[in-house]
Each structure stands twice: as C-alpha cells, then as structure tokens.
Structure 1
C-alpha cells in the first residue's frame, strides 16, 4: 500500500492481499515475487497469502475523504502485489473490496488483472447488468504480446465498465491491436521491463502502439523504456565483449530469431531504468482518460 506511489500512472496503490501465481510471460521476472521473497514470503498457487488488518483497509476511506475535501478524484491501482481475480486469492477479499469501492466515490479504483477471463464471474452480478457497473471502477487487462492481445482484449471489452484499459508492460513483442475493438478501449499504458534480469523492448514496438493509439483516438501513456535503450554501433567498440557481459543485445523487431542482424533489428544497451527514462522520440506521453469517459 502506498499513498505516494512511484508508479507514474496512478495516485495511490492498494493491495487487498500479497501473493500470486505465475500465469503469463510477464510473470517471468515478477518484481512482486522478488520483493515478497526479500521479506520471507513464499509465492505460488498454494503459498499462503498475506492478509491485512483493518487499519490497512481504512486507508482507502482516508484517501476518499481527502479527495472529497479537495474536490478532486484520485486513481488507486489495485493490486500491485497480487491479482484480485486470482482464484487463489484469500476468501472474502473481493467482497470486502467491493464494499470499500462503494464507500469511496471520489476514488477511481483501477483493477488490473492478468486473468481478465475470471472477472465476469468474480464481480457482483449487479455490476454486469445495464448501468450496474460502478462509475469509479476501471478495468484493465495486462497484455504483453500478440497472443495475449488476441485472447484477452475481446474478453475485456465484454465487461460494461466505463473505462477499459490495457497495461502493456513489460512489452515483450510487436502487437497489432484489433482495429474493430479499439473504440471500446480508453487507455493504453506501455512500458519496458526493469529489474536485474529485465528483457529489452524494441523501440519499434512502442512506436507502433503509440501510432495505433493516435490513429484510434486512444489515450496513450508511455511509462518507461526499462533497463535498455537503443544504440548505434560505434566503430572500434568491442561489442562482442559487451554482449558476452550481457550489456548489449540484438533485439529482433518481429521476434524471428534467425541469427541474422537485419535493418529493422535494434542494438540495445543496458543503461538502467533511470538513465533510460520515459522520453519517446523527444517527448513524454502522459495521457489519461478524462471526464468524457465517466
């Protein structure tokens, strides 16, 4: 839980519990698992989940009162250390969360899941009726490659939320979004992977999504490059040694790892998340869904 989060696209983070299981290629370098292990918590389907006391939950109420007093709306990302729609979530946490959602109308609860197919049977039945989905609940699906996009975006748009969004982080491949469905998505977040074993993100994948969103009128948020940035080959530089040390990689634009370096492949150097930054072609992309989607 954090009132002052480092995640650029939300105001607060809130966890109904800690603990999850791996279900996607995005989970392979899971920061939440690494952090939990540092604190001595196990991970996986059968591992016990960490639950929280009343004071933790009441922070939502405090944030809601503060937002109401200030006359603003605040975004709350749920969950950063788990998945609310994991079938192994502790009994009762979803029902408890629905109660707190109803008590905090000045908070927009951003429910992001890698299990978008579970949502319809896990939210209150009344939410699925016409006009029944709460105005302050956004629903998002994590999509990191074309396979997940083809499988999960149709499931996302079946949910009658006012704001549907995609989190494409870590972006692991080129993705073409389904044009026929784009009008039903309000927001796309894109980012590269960070952490000790982060995989590089080809810049062409990011630019393609930016352009697709611009063409469809979708709000686009670029969160980060991750640990890697594109570089030019420099005459006299010992790239072979840098590659052996894991500091430089060739990233194929189309994931076709045929061993040849082609003109649209990228030479990427690991520089760290902070140095890589958030600028994309010289500008920041900080778009958010506005009042028009409420």
Structure 2
C-alpha cells in the first residue's frame, strides 16, 4: 500500500511490510498497532490480521509506478529491520529503492544495529545512495546508543526521530546527523513531554548544525498542544541533501500553486 501522507515531514508512505513487535517504551502506545488492530478479523481488509507481521510482495513495485519524484516514508506501519523479515526480502526493498532512484526514501528504525550491519554488508562499507535516508527513533537517554549505530553508517543523509520524546536525552553527540525531528506522544494514554527536553534537543541541534523540526506537543490528539516551542515554529529540513530532481519538483509545485 502506498498513499499520500499526513505526516508533516514526508509526502507519501509505502508499506511493503506491515506489523511489528514492541522493543522499548517508545512502542508502548504505538499508533500503527492501534490503527491496525481496529480491523482485525475484518475479512478482505489489508489489516484483517491486525498488527501481526506480514510481507506484501505485490507492493514492492509501487514506487516504480510513481513517476513524479516524492519523499517516501518506508514502512510507516512496521520496521524494515525486524528480526523476522527475511534478508532477501529486505534486499528486494533496497533493490526497489535503488532502481526507482528519482524518489527520496526515508527509512526509520528502532533496530539500529541490524540496520547498520545490513547496510554495511550491502554496500561493502561504502556510502549509502544519497536518495536513501536512514534514521533511528530515540525516545529517551537509555536508547541513545541507536545514534551511535547510525553514525557508524557511511551516509550524508542520517536523521533521528525523537518521537515520542519520553524523557531527557542528556548530553548527546549529533556529529554527522543531517536532521532531527522532535515530538510528543499522542493518542489514548499519551505521556506528556516536558518543554526542557525538547528545548535541550533544539539547542543540541544548533551546536551540531543539525536541521531541527518540532512536530508537535501531542496529547489526546497529535495537534492538541500545537507546534510552538519556545514561542516559535521550527520547520528545519536538510535541504542540502535533497536530490536535484526532488528540488526541481518542489519548485514546479510552488510555481503552480500546489
């Protein structure tokens, strides 16, 4: 399945895999699980199996059919580096991303060591193609080791999602990171984010010259608390790493008022 996304930092989602399992506190109130489980048992629905891990080989060719360049969030409803996804299937996803190289692909994982090991093998320790952006999700200080794994990948397009930010990250090295996204948790039982935690990350991004995007405070609904941090909106984006084709398409859309 691929569709236009309501996520502020991407254009579309592509889910050649759906379903996942929890590996940390950031997973406790997973929005993807909550959505998928609504449809469990509904025969014929793409989530009739709920949030159980499922491969969708028929979706692998989707990006190649999108002729207009766009930014694509890969596996918004799963984690591409889940231990139960066969390596040859991950290969097929990367084959697609490499072939349909007029898009930017945003791959986000909590399984950072598995991603690091995979891309090192695939590219023989060399650089990851510039249109494939690799990121990690970090919810608190206990999990910032994922950042180190990301930094061990040879890429200019590394990014971090501090969402949901559940605690202070503390002292952090953001060397080599292009972009950071910060947001609070939303939905039933959302845990509050303190302003000091978000501001700390904003200041760290200034020190390391990292584009900073503040997505939301969260709450019962994603936009319950708005998007202002320290009295301003923060919409930082790593334009310097966006391929020329994407830049040209964005310029064309702006000219046509889209």
TM-score computed with the length of structure 1 as normaliser:
0.74
Shift of 1:2: 4.1
Give the SS at the match of 1:66.
coil
Q: What is the CA deviation profile of residues 203-251 of structure 1, one whole-angstrom value per residue up to 9, with x for unaligned ones? A: 1111111111112211001111001xxxxxxxxxxxxxxxxxxxxxxxx
Once the two structures are TM-superposed, the CA of residue 172 in structure 1 deviates from its matched residue by 0.3
Task: Name the counterpart of 1:169.
Answer: 163
Shift of 1:90: 5.2
User: What 5-or-longer segments of structure 2 have no aligned partner?
Assistant: 41-48, 244-258
Residues in 1 aligned to 2:19 and 2:126: alpha-carbon distance in whole angstroms: 33
Q: Separation in 1 of the partners of 2:23 and 2:201?
A: 24
After TM superposition, the runs of 4+ consecutive aligned structure 1 residues lying more than 3 A away are: none
Query: What pairs up with 1:6-155 in 2 under 5 angstroms?
Result: 6-40=6-40, 41-43=49-51, 47=52, 49-52=53-56, 54=58, 56-63=59-66, 65-67=67-69, 74-89=70-85, 92-123=88-119, 125-131=121-127, 133-149=128-144, 151-155=145-149
Match of 1:264 in 2: none
The number of aligned residues is 235
Look up the SS of the partner of 2:21 in the other structure: coil
Mapped pair 1:215 → 2:207: yes
**Aligned mate of 1:280, from 202, 218, 229:** 229
- Distance across 2 between alignment mates of 1:273 and 1:129: 39
Map 1:153-232 → 2, pairs under 5 A: 153-179=147-173, 182-227=174-219
Separation of aligned partners in 1, 2:87 and 2:241:
36
The answer (yes or no) to whether the contact 1:110–1:140 under 8 Å persists in 2 is yes
Instruction: Please give the root-mean-square deviation of Cα atoms over the aligned residues, in Å.
Output: 2.0
What is the CA distance between 1:96 and its match in structure 2? Answer: 1.3
1:128–1:159 contact (8 Å) kept in structure 2? no
